[in-house]
Amino acid sequence: HAWGNHELYNFSRARLARSGLCSRPAGGSQGPADGECHAYHCSPAPRLRLVLLDAYDLSTLGTDPGGARYQESLRVLRQNNPNDDLNSPAGLEKPYFVAFNGGFSQAQLDWFDEVLKFSDENQEKVIVAAHVPIHPGASNGVCLAWNYEAALSVIHSHGCVVCVLAGHLHDGAYCLDSHGVHHLTLEGLIETPPESTAFATVHVYEDKMVLKGRGRIPDRVMDF
């Protein structure tokens, strides 16, 4: 479960952590030391690793307004967005600095780097998932993680990542980046006409991922 803004509009991170929407392994051994960061990794098959990132690790959503996490996130947001409405990208040099997006703490990025280092050493292929896209080519320029460049830098410093899956941008998007990593932003059910649907199944093979879409999500083959 990749928590996003719609979950955090309705529930605190603490409540989500106690709910059925929390799939991070108990004890935190598979995720960052910060218990509030909902990131983890697992190996569903030999030489394949799934890494789920918390794209709202830095965010004003779902956190205690009196806490350090909220205050730091608000500082970063206001530093880049002077608008009265912090959900408005109007006039911004970096239009992704809006309240409905979020970012990654340095602690999470350091943990992510260590996970990918392990996968490099063990010749694993890695699929990354996060609610918010981390590549401009898989975004509309607004629906993008605050510090997406830092996350991309971690990915590109390793050779194991084959695909990054995201949501958030309801229209969906796709790009193959300069390092050969597939960035797939899946179309959202939320803006799908009632007579259609939007879901998909991914089949993972040694040399490719095959996306079988339904409704407004098209089929796609992503070679490694």
pLDDT digits (tens, 9 = 90+) for 65-76: 999 999 999 999
Tell how strand 161-166 and strand 182-185 pair up: parallel
Give the pLDDT confidence score for residue 29 in this predicted structure: 54
Average pLDDT, the chain: 94
**pLDDT tier, 24 (very low <50, low <70, confident <90, very high otherwise):** confident
How is the beta sheet containing 208-215 ordered, strand by strand? Answer: 198-204, 208-215, 220-223
Tell how strand 173-176 and strand 182-185 pair up: antiparallel
Burial of 190 (0-12, 13-18, 19+ CB in 10 A): exposed
Q: Which amino acid is at 169?
A: L
pLDDT digits (tens, 9 = 90+) for 122-175: 999 999 999 999 999 999 999 999 999 999 999 999 999 999 999 999 999 999
Strand partners, 204: 209
* Element housing 121 (H / E): helix 106-121
Give how far the C-alpha of residue 57 lies from the chain's centroid of Cα atoms, to the nearest Å. Answer: 10
pLDDT digits (tens, 9 = 90+) for 161-184: 999 999 999 999 999 999 999 999
Query: What's the whole-model pTM score?
Result: 0.94
Q: Give CA–CA dist 27/90, Å, rounded.
A: 42
DSSP 8-state symbol, 68: H
H-assigned helices in 122-208 = 148-156
H-assigned helices in 18-84 = 68-80
9 pLDDT exceeds 60? Answer: yes
**pLDDT tier, 26 (very low <50, low <70, confident <90, very high otherwise):** low
Instruction: Please check whether residue 151 is in contact with residue 53, taking contact to mean a CB–CB distance below 8 angstroms.
Output: yes
In CATH terms, is domain 5-20+40-223 a member of 3.60.21.10? yes
**pLDDT tier, 31 (very low <50, low <70, confident <90, very high otherwise):** confident
DSSP string, 78-106: HHH---SSTT--TT-SSTT-STT--B--H
Strand partners, 164: 128, 183
> Is the C-alpha dihedral spanning 134, 136, 139, 144 positive or negative?
positive
81 CB-near residues (< 8 Å, 6+ apart): 88, 89, 92, 97, 98
Q: Where are the domains of the chain?
A: 5-20+40-223
